[in-house]
Structure 1
Amino acid sequence: MDRTNTEEIKQRAVFNRLLSYLKRDQKRLILAFVLLIIATGTDLLGPILIKVFIDDHLTPRNFDHTIILLLALGYISIIVLSCILNYIQLVLFQTAAMNIIQSMRIDVFTKVHGLGLRFFDRTPVGSLVSKITNDTEAIKDFYVSVLSAFVQNIVYLAGIFIAMFYLNVKLGLFCLVLLPVIAFIMVLYRKFSSQSFLHMREKLSELNAKLNESLQGMSIVQVFNQQKRLKKEFADVNREHNEAWMKNIKYNGLLLRPAVDLVYVLAIMIVLSFFGIKSFSSPVEIGVIYAFVNYMDRFFEPVNMLMMRLSMFQQAIIAGGRMFELLDENDKAPGAEGGRHPVITEGAIEFKNVTFSYDGKHPVLKNISFHARPGETVALVGHTGSGKSSITNLLMRFYELGQGEITIDSVPLSFYDNHELRSKMGLVLQDSFLFAGTISHNISLFNTNITRERVKEAAAFVQASEFIEKLPEGYDQEIGERGSTFSTGQRQLITFARTMAFEPKILILDEATANIDTQTEDAIQHALQKMRAGRTTIAIAHRLSTIQDADQILVLHKGEIVERGTHQQLIQMKGLYYKMYALQQKDKLSEEVG
């Protein structure tokens, strides 16, 4: 099967899948369709009434005032009725379309939140944003502008054919011959435009990805004078996107309105020639000519509208294919297995011969085994890339375990559902993340079970209340995007308070004090000691001075635990930990060893 046929099958499948969403609002759509048929019927009666007036009254000069008045009232009535019915059916179609696209966006948004971090590792954020916004907007046009127009105009064309056959069977058959010609133009347009639309959508995703990267790293861009390089990269992608658009414009200019207009002119010439030749042998009614030419105009009006909507249709099909790829993504976040519903009570953690790889080829963890008892603090140290964060990622079940086993309270990690697992774990990262909203909302995360008093207690516990209460709005102070109006230390204190508000059994600290100044760190260390009390804590540390009181320190190198013990034991061993500590504590090391 060649590439063209394969692409055609894919597009047909996307079209059928888009149509399946209509079932969600089928009652409204059925009512709209019935009203559309009635509105089309009334609209098409107009030329027939005028034909009767011309042939039966105007030409023979038979001016029966009563009949003429009835014809006039009938013509006005069907126009008014057609307007009312068309308005109602249009509102019904559009309402159904908007309901469908609204639910579709929720489906996509929900799907993204259910995907595993492995998916986000390989997918640019800008590309995802493009699918959720630009692609769903194109699909919205399919339901709002394209589908309703197709249904309306196809029904209208069917009514026109019925009227044409009523007036003249031969000319009605002639107009039927026009349909394959118009269908051929549509197929030709879709064949050439589909690839350019796909290319255009891909380049739009790349534009969003470039834009997202530049905005998020604006400080680095400016510090290292990367504006010229990024401008060139953005301009290259933008040029390719523009070229795809221009290619599409050429197809539109050739195969849409101009091609149909040419067919229309030829059709009018043939129809008028037919009546002209017929007039040599028999009389021709002027009303019939008027009605037929009027119907020919009306025939090509919906055809032109369909052709103009074909561009939107093709964009929607390509966008729908990209969106359904996302909806069909199988890389879901790991979930519970075994049908059990265990509860974390103590928080004892054990890794048993755990081996893990992100790509399935190169292991980042090799035979990791350790035990963290309830209330103990286990610190993970090592150079960048040694596997520290991978251990916490597996413990939080952001990724599926490769080999080995992880247990909490002697129960395999895979048996816990994500809600239980995440609700009993507190995570503080090096890069604090704050949501749009107030400080209070960022600490409680809009959880109604966490009262205002609990929010204040958590803030006071980590000594964040000191700066919060000095703000103009206090806990109701609005936070800018990602907390940009606060210092790094203040943002971190808020995330500390958030963690404590949920009272976790297990605490995970991923270099939580790395971005905090020395003065703030002293206060934080005191808070951390209280936070760790009675909780199992896994702490990733860059500053080794912050984990000297850990019950156990694991030293990782290239994915393996090469040393383990307390701070004093590791110093005495004079191994890798000793060298790392020596770099940070040059002057104090000799005193401590002595």
Structure 2
Amino acid sequence: MSEKNKQSLLFEPMDQKVVFKRLLRYTKTHKRLLTFAFVLLMLGTAAQILGPIIVKIFIDDYLTPRIFDFQPLFLLGVAYLGLHLSSVVITYVQLFLFQKIALQIIQQIRIDVFAKVQNLGLAFFDKFPTGGLVSRITNDTETIKDLYVSVVSNYVQNIMFLIGVFVAMFYLNVQLAIFCLFILPVLLILMQVYRRISSKFYAEMSEKLSQLNTKINESIQGMTVIQIFRQEKRLRREFETINDEHQKAWLKSIKVEGLLLRPAVDFISIIALILVLSYFGITSFNSPVEIGVLYAFINYLDRFFEPVNQMMMRLSIFQQALVSASRVFRLLDHSEFAPTKIGQDTPIIEKGEVEFRNVSFSYDGKYDVLKNISFSANKGETIALVGHTGSGKSSIVNLLMRFYPGVRGDILIDGVPIESYENEEIRKKMGLVLQDPFLFVGTIEDNIKFYHHSLSKEDVIDAAKFVHANPFIESLPGGYQAKIGERGSTLSSGQRQLLSFARTIALNPSILILDEATANIDTETEAEIQKALEKMRKGRTTIAIAHRLSTIQDADQILVLHQGEIVERGTHQELIQYGGLYHKMYLLQQGDPKEIESITTKELA
């Protein structure tokens, strides 16, 4: 299946019957509690159904013939009150149990979705907007929760009640009860028509809500850029457009609800009441009509339509939940996983020696971003990757970290194909420091020991001292327990980078990957970091991406990439003497006006 088809499946609605059956499967682990809740539900329903029959007995057997014996009337009154009180208690308990089960189920669904997202490959996140994922994990699962809490328990209760009402109706008058059965197909047709029409609107609403979340997430993360370029009005217009489309979808659903839900049911109930009263009126011409039977039948008819109304009013929640569940299950069924181990062996990374053999790679399956890349890095060596933007430097790192599938050629670690290693082994033996480090909400200590929660306080301090982060950490209020805001927003760029170094050192990796790791650090701090890097690189294989060539002059080998190919390789001095692309890049960074003037745009292309 093509990538385009894989992505389109994420947005296609699933068959609603399949979705509903799949939702019901989550109840299997709660069989015992559900069975107990159902027993209580039947007892509560029976208590509610018997109430009108007791009133009917009182009217026909005692009130109409004017028999007022204290004992039987007292027993009838006690029975009526007892049924009512027991119904209240039982209804409360069974509703509590149903909602408890519902909350446990939705909790499990959220865990399943979150776990699935964490196991998807980076290729998926490159194409799927973050806001859309957040919407599916939060908004859609919240809507599913409403299905279990407000709809399923209500439907089960009302269906049981309707069955009890029909049993009571047949007990009172078989012919009239059979007539009332014909109301059910009319109501079912009405529900089916509503579901078919409303499903389109709810799918549109969910998609527009997902787009709203995406726009909000994007705007908040890019607020600095938005304000710098004064694009607040444009972003607001874009947000208003999506919000307006979401509102229109809501209005369409409201119009459908206003026509096909309660008004339509109320109309059917009035027609049914007219027909029932007409039946009793016509019957009275030929034979006497028991007032108690008339009261009980009309009472049951009224009770019959109230649960129907409740079920119809919850159809909108039911429909929204099915659409949301469809979106969630599409995500759960998505198969674009991160690359995993192949084979039965479980090798261990010891030396950390890296080799690329004729490696080619494409993100989209059409255009190769890497072409026949070959190099090797032994233990203790530093290999630097340089080149213009888009030359393929980060792609090499992504493949070494095994973030993407579809690699052509061989990537070896300690002479073993990278596919043979467990992901856990690769992540445990590779330390990655990015140009823009990601810090999590929590304390300084939590972020340093993010990879190893079992690290002692002493190990955390040692890691911080190793990268010269200890002085600034101790200057913060709370020291290592100082709170960090989202993405480390309360710290400077240099401080975030130092913590990222400390976090990597705490991992003690065999292979060290540096993606322009000193880009956001001031000159004075960089000098200290360079000293720390020298210690970090000792005994480790280091792959370093660099834009500032001054930071990798001591590298054992420098690979110069251009349009996905290695065009030059050697030490700094060798490449300077060669006078090629590296030499020109170096001169540009040195800022020698005479040399720069001699380098034309054509030569750099």
TM-score between both structures, scaled by the size of structure 1 = 0.97
Q: 1: distance between equivalents of 2:406 and 2:502?
A: 30
Equivalent residue number for residue 583 of structure 1: 588
Equivalent residue number for residue 379 of structure 1: 384
1:558 maps to amino acid:
Q
Within a 5 Å distance, the mapping from 1:117-156 to structure 2 comes to 117-156=122-161
Q: 1: distance between equivalents of 2:91 and 2:20?
A: 26
3-state SS of 2:366 partner: coil
2:201 maps to amino acid:
S
Quick one: which of 509, 512, 519 aligns to 2:514? 509
Q: Could you give the per-residue CA deviations for residues 365-397 of structure 1, whole angstroms, max 9, x where no partner exists?
A: 000000000110000000000000000000000
- Identity of matched residues, %: 62
How far apart are 1:341 and its partner, in Å?
Answer: 0.9
Q: Given that residues 582 and 589 in structure 1 are in contact (C-alpha distance below 8 angstroms), is that contact kept between their aligned partners in structure 2?
A: no
2:79 maps to amino acid:
G
Equivalent residue number for residue 278 of structure 1: 283
Within a 5 Å distance, the mapping from 1:45-84 to structure 2 comes to 45-84=50-89
2:18 maps to amino acid:
A
- Structure 2, unmatched stretches of 5+, are 1-11, 596-605
**1:11 equivalenced with 2:16 (yes/no):** yes
Structure 1 318/59 Cα, relative in aligned 2: closer, same or farther at 3 Å? Answer: same
Q: Given that residues 368 and 564 in structure 2 are in contact (C-alpha distance below 8 angstroms), is that contact kept between their aligned partners in structure 1?
A: yes
**1:370 equivalenced with 2:375 (yes/no):** yes
**1:412 equivalenced with 2:414 (yes/no):** no
Structure 1 8/450 Cα, relative in aligned 2: closer, same or farther at 3 Å? Answer: closer
Q: Given that residues 164 and 292 in structure 1 are in contact (C-alpha distance below 8 angstroms), is that contact kept between their aligned partners in structure 2?
A: yes
Equivalent residue number for residue 575 of structure 2: 570
How far apart are 1:451 and its partner, in Å?
Answer: 1.1
Equivalent residue number for residue 540 of structure 2: 535
Q: 2: distance between equivalents of 1:8 and 1:388?
A: 39
Equivalent residue number for residue 112 of structure 2: 107
Structure 1 8/367 Cα, relative in aligned 2: closer, same or farther at 3 Å? Answer: closer
Deviates more, 1:442-451 or 1:373-382: 442-451
Equivalent residue number for residue 29 of structure 2: 24
Q: Given that residues 449 and 460 in structure 2 are in contact (C-alpha distance below 8 angstroms), is that contact kept between their aligned partners in structure 1?
A: yes
Q: Given that residues 341 and 419 in structure 2 are in contact (C-alpha distance below 8 angstroms), is that contact kept between their aligned partners in structure 1?
A: yes
Q: 1: distance between equivalents of 2:513 and 2:452?
A: 21
How far apart are 1:447 and its partner, in Å?
Answer: 2.8
Q: 2: distance between equivalents of 1:503 and 1:493?
A: 16
1:216 maps to amino acid:
Q
Equivalent residue number for residue 3 of structure 1: none
3-state SS of 2:182 partner: helix
Q: Could you give the per-residue CA deviations for residues 58-86 of structure 1, whole angstroms, max 9, x where no partner exists?
A: 01101111100000000011111111111
Equivalent residue number for residue 445 of structure 2: 440
2:317 maps to amino acid:
M
Quick one: which of 237, 242, 252 aligns to 2:242? 237
3-state SS of 2:551 partner: helix
2:86 maps to amino acid:
L
Q: Could you give the per-residue CA deviations for residues 243-267 of structure 1, whole angstroms, max 9, x where no partner exists?
A: 0000000001000000000000111
2:16 maps to amino acid:
Q
Quick one: which of 239, 248, 267 aligns to 2:272? 267
How far apart are 1:92 and its partner, in Å?
Answer: 1.0
Equivalent residue number for residue 253 of structure 2: 248
How far apart are 1:587 and its partner, in Å?
Answer: 4.0
Q: Given that residues 559 and 568 in structure 2 are in contact (C-alpha distance below 8 angstroms), is that contact kept between their aligned partners in structure 1?
A: yes
Q: 2: distance between equivalents of 1:150 and 1:506?
A: 58
Structure 1 95/193 Cα, relative in aligned 2: closer, same or farther at 3 Å? Answer: same
How far apart are 1:464 and its partner, in Å?
Answer: 0.4
How far apart are 1:32 and its partner, in Å?
Answer: 0.5
Equivalent residue number for residue 191 of structure 1: 196
How far apart are 1:9 and its partner, in Å?
Answer: 7.2
Structure 1 361/8 Cα, relative in aligned 2: closer, same or farther at 3 Å? Answer: closer
Quick one: which of 340, 348, 355 aligns to 1:343? 348
Q: 2: distance between equivalents of 1:274 and 1:137?
A: 47
Equivalent residue number for residue 177 of structure 1: 182
3-state SS of 1:157 partner: helix
Equivalent residue number for residue 201 of structure 1: 206
Counting matched residue pairs gives 584
Quick one: which of 532, 549, 564 aligns to 2:554? 549
Q: Given that residues 394 and 401 in structure 1 are in contact (C-alpha distance below 8 angstroms), is that contact kept between their aligned partners in structure 2?
A: no
3-state SS of 2:113 partner: helix
How far apart are 1:8 and its partner, in Å?
Answer: 9.4
How far apart are 1:158 and its partner, in Å?
Answer: 0.3
Q: Could you give the per-residue CA deviations for residues 106-130 of structure 1, whole angstroms, max 9, x where no partner exists?
A: 0000000000000000000000000
Q: 2: distance between equivalents of 1:320 and 1:519?
A: 54
How far apart are 1:446 and its partner, in Å?
Answer: 6.9
Tell me which stretches of 4 or more aligned residues in structure 1 moved more than 2 Å: 446-449, 586-590
Q: 2: distance between equivalents of 1:523 and 1:365?
A: 34
Q: 1: distance between equivalents of 2:511 and 2:31?
A: 49
How far apart are 1:30 and its partner, in Å?
Answer: 1.1
Equivalent residue number for residue 485 of structure 2: 480
Q: Given that residues 552 and 565 in structure 1 are in contact (C-alpha distance below 8 angstroms), is that contact kept between their aligned partners in structure 2?
A: yes
Equivalent residue number for residue 434 of structure 2: 429
3-state SS of 2:26 partner: helix
- Structure 1, unmatched stretches of 5+, are 1-6
Equivalent residue number for residue 212 of structure 1: 217
Deviates more, 1:35-44 or 1:515-524: 515-524
Q: Could you give the per-residue CA deviations for residues 492-541 of structure 1, whole angstroms, max 9, x where no partner exists?
A: 00000000011100000001111112222111111111111111000000
3-state SS of 1:202 partner: helix
3-state SS of 1:447 partner: coil
How far apart are 1:242 and its partner, in Å?
Answer: 0.2
Q: Given that residues 451 and 507 in structure 2 are in contact (C-alpha distance below 8 angstroms), is that contact kept between their aligned partners in structure 1?
A: no
How far apart are 1:402 and its partner, in Å?
Answer: 2.1
Q: 2: distance between equivalents of 1:313 and 1:588?
A: 71
3-state SS of 2:380 partner: coil
3-state SS of 1:374 partner: coil
Q: 2: distance between equivalents of 1:347 and 1:470?
A: 37
Quick one: which of 462, 470, 476 aligns to 1:465? 470
Equivalent residue number for residue 500 of structure 2: 495
1:505 maps to amino acid:
S
1:469 maps to amino acid:
E
3-state SS of 1:469 partner: helix
Q: Given that residues 440 and 487 in structure 2 are in contact (C-alpha distance below 8 angstroms), is that contact kept between their aligned partners in structure 1?
A: yes
Structure 1 485/43 Cα, relative in aligned 2: closer, same or farther at 3 Å? Answer: same
1:323 maps to amino acid:
V
Q: Given that residues 441 and 484 in structure 2 are in contact (C-alpha distance below 8 angstroms), is that contact kept between their aligned partners in structure 1?
A: yes
3-state SS of 2:345 partner: coil
TM-score between both structures, scaled by the size of structure 2 = 0.95
Structure 1 9/420 Cα, relative in aligned 2: closer, same or farther at 3 Å? Answer: closer
Q: 2: distance between equivalents of 1:581 and 1:175?
A: 90
Q: Given that residues 131 and 210 in structure 2 are in contact (C-alpha distance below 8 angstroms), is that contact kept between their aligned partners in structure 1?
A: yes
